Each structure stands twice: as structure tokens, then as C-alpha cells.
């Protein structure tokens, strides 16, 4: 007899099996963080008798979207599982459900569940990054950032990104504690920042932001070069990043820095909760 694909809240004994997939997908940094999220809200970890699993969380503190942070199931069962997650979002009081970042060629199961594409983006990659730090002379000072810079960095983020993309304060504090952060400073005032990580030999640029009034003066290139050099020194053999398809200036900055765009777009999809 076939086992059911209906999703339900995982019990504590099932967390170990789910953790293997969560760790591989880098949804949580540590098992302790993952289990803490479950203890706080057990419904965030969903499983089925057939072995499917999903990990959920609020997209941003200021957002009404429930994000599917990870989903592990067969493609043929995905529409029904996503519909189960939409029902769960409704029960938890959310306004909608957000997909993971999905390659454009794999969006059809999400569309079959009633989701629509709301954002398209491109992935860029830099092979053999240089560890030569750029010369900041005449542009801005670059220094390592920490938790003490959270308020200033949040202000930069708010000025640079819309409601969907900007970080909330809790998320930003977590990133500052766990990622390498740097700020660009001019006349004693932070005007831009980066977040990046290195896992094994892969670097990831998670954020690059420059205040709108400070753009066009080399600050973005300086921050990019600084982050790339750090990741190279930390052992990265390649660096990847994701940016919105419509962000032409951002794509031009990365191309100038030696990044190449990988084939195909990736998408976020959303389903409204009725």
C-alpha cells in the first residue's frame, strides 16, 4: 500500500532525518538553530508518511508571506504538497505563500499549485577570484562591520531595497553575527555594505548595497572588490551571487567585476491565501 503524501507537523523524533536535507541546502547554519525553530513553532517543519519534507518561515518580519525555505519531494507530488502548505499558511494567518528560488525550467509544478511568478533573477559566477584588495584611495574607507553597525546598515538597506527585498532587523543581526560584513564609510558616515560567506571552496556574495545618493562614484566596485578579495583569501575558488533580472545597473557592475551570467533565470512564485 502506498504511503500518504499529506503533510503534517514533524515530531521531535523526525527532526534528525529532515536535518540532513536542511544542512545540505544551508537553510539553517546549525542543527541547534533548526531545532530551536521547531521548538518555537513546530508547524514550521512539515513531513509526510511518504518521506516528503518542507521547512517554512516568515519571509520578513514586515511581510505577510510564509516562505517555503526548503521543499523535498517528487515533482509529481509537488502541486498537492504546495496546496497543503497554502492551507497551513491560511490557518497560521499569513497572506500568501512564497516559493523557494526556483530555476525557470522547474516552475511548472508550482504553477500547477496556483502560484504565479513575481520576481525573476539571474545568477552570476566569478571563477578564480583575485585576493588583491582594491585601493580605496579617493573613494571611501572600508572596514569590517559588526553588530554595533546594525542600525546604520539597516538604514542603508531600507534606502536601497523595496519591501519585498529589504532585510528586517532580526534577520540583519543574524547575518552580521554569522557572515563577513564590511561597510564603506565617507566622512565618517556608512554609505554602503556587503555580506558574504565562504563554504568549503565556494564563496557567496549575499548583499551589496550603496546609498542611492552615493552611486556612480566607485563605491560599489570598491565594496565588490573587497568582498571578492576576502573570499579568495578565505579559500573560495569561485564566487556566486543572485540579482534581480531588471536591475540593469547591478548586472553591469558585476560584469565589470569579471562575473559572468549563468544560463537561465530563477524565479520566486507566490500563492495568495484566500
Kindly give the residue spans of alpha helices, DSSP state H, lying in the chain. 15-24, 31-40, 78-91, 108-112, 150-160, 169-178, 219-233, 248-256
pLDDT in tens, 134-158: 999 999 999 999 999 999 999 999 9
pLDDT digits (tens, 9 = 90+) for 65-84: 999 999 999 999 999 999 99
Is the predicted pLDDT of residue 274 greater than 90, yes or no? no
Q: Which residues contact 48 (CB under 8 A, 6 or more apart)?
A: 3, 4, 5, 6, 7, 8, 73, 81
Q: Is the pLDDT of residue 113 over 90?
A: yes
Whether 8-120+267-272 and 129-236 share one fold: the answer is: yes
Domain ranges of the chain: 8-120+267-272, 129-236
Specify the residue for cell string 502560484: 115
**For cell 498537492, what's the residue?**
80
Q: At 171, is the secondary structure helix, strand, or coil?
A: helix
Confidence check: pLDDT of 251 > 90: yes
**Predicted confidence band at 51 (pLDDT cuts at 50, 70, 90)?**
very high
What CATH number does domain 129-236 carry, 3.40.50.1400, 3.40.630.30, 2.60.120.560, 1.10.645.10?
3.40.630.30
Closest to 271 (Cα-Cα) out of 89, 69, 72 = 89
Integer Cα distance of 38 and 161 in angstroms = 30
Q: How many Å apart are CA 36 and CA 195, to the nearest integer?
A: 24
Residue 35, number of CB atoms within 10 A of its CB:
16
Q: Is the pLDDT of residue 247 over 60?
A: yes
pLDDT at residue 1 is higher than 90: no
Please give the mean pLDDT across all residues of the chain: 95
Residue appearing with cell numbers 539571474: 122
Contacts of 128 (CB under 8 A, 6+ apart): 237, 238
Q: What would the grid cell of residue 197 be?
A: 560567506
Residue 102: partners with Cβ closer than 8 Å, 6 or more residues away:
110, 266, 267, 268, 269
Residue 189 confidence (pLDDT) = 96
Q: Is 8-120+267-272 a domain of CATH 3.40.630.30?
A: yes
Q: Please list, in sequence order, all residues whose beta carbon lies within 8 angstroms of the beta carbon of residue 230, skipping any fewer than 6 positions away.
A: 180, 182, 196
Global pTM?
0.92
Which residues contact residue 138 at a Cβ distance below 8 angstroms, ignoring those fewer than 6 apart? none
Beta-strand relationship, 65-72 and 96-98 = parallel
* Nine cell digits for residue 118: 513575481
- pLDDT 10s digits, 179-205: 999 999 999 999 999 999 998 899 999
Amino acid at each position: 500500500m502506498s504511503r500518504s503524501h499529506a503533510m503534517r507537523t514533524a515530531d521531535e523524533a523526525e527532526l534528525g532525518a529532515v536535518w540532513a536535507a536542511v544542512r545540505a541546502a544551508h537553510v539553517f547554519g546549525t542543527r541547534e538553530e533548526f531545532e530551536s525553530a521547531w521548538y518555537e513553532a513546530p508547524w514550521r517543519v512539515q513531513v509526510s508518511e511518504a518521506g516528503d519534507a518542507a521547512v517554512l518561515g516568515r519571509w520578513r518580519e514586515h511581510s505577510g508571506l510564509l516562505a517555503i525555505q526548503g521543499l523535498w519531494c517528487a515533482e509529481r507530488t509537488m502541486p498537492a504538497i504546495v496546496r497543503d502548505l497554502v492551507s497551513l499558511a491560511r490557518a497560521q494567518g499569513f497572506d500568501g505563500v512564497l516559493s523557494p528560488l526556483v530555476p525557470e525550467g522547474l516552475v511548472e509544478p508550482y504553477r500547477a499549485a496556483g502560484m504565479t511568478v513575481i520576481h525573476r533573477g539571474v545568477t552570476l559566477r566569478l571563477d578564480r577570484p583575485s585576493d588583491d584588495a582594491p585601493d580605496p584611495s579617493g573613494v571611501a574607507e572600508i572596514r569590517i562591520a559588526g553588530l554595533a553597525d546594525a542600525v546604520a546598515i539597516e538604514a542603508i538597506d531600507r534606502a536601497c531595497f523595496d519591501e519585498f527585498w529589504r532585510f528586517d532587523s532580526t534577520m540583519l543581526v543574524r547575518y552580521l553575527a554569522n557572515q563577513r560584513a564590511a561597510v564603506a564609510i565617507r566622512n565618517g558616515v556608512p554609505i554602503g555594505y556587503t555580506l558574504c560567506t565562504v563554504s568549503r571552496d565556494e564563496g557567496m556574495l549575499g548583499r551589496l548595497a550603496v546609498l542611492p545618493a552615493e552611486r556612480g562614484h566607485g563605491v560599489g566596485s570598491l565594496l565588490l572588490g573587497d568582498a571578492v578579495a576576502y573570499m579568495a583569501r578565505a579559500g573560495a575558488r569561485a564566487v556566486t551571487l543572485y540579482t534581480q533580472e531588471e536591475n540593469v545597473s547591478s548586472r553591469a557592475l558585476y560584469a565589470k567585476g569579471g562575473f559572468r551570467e549563468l544560463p537561465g533565470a530563477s524565479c520566486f512564485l507566490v500563492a495568495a491565501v484566500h
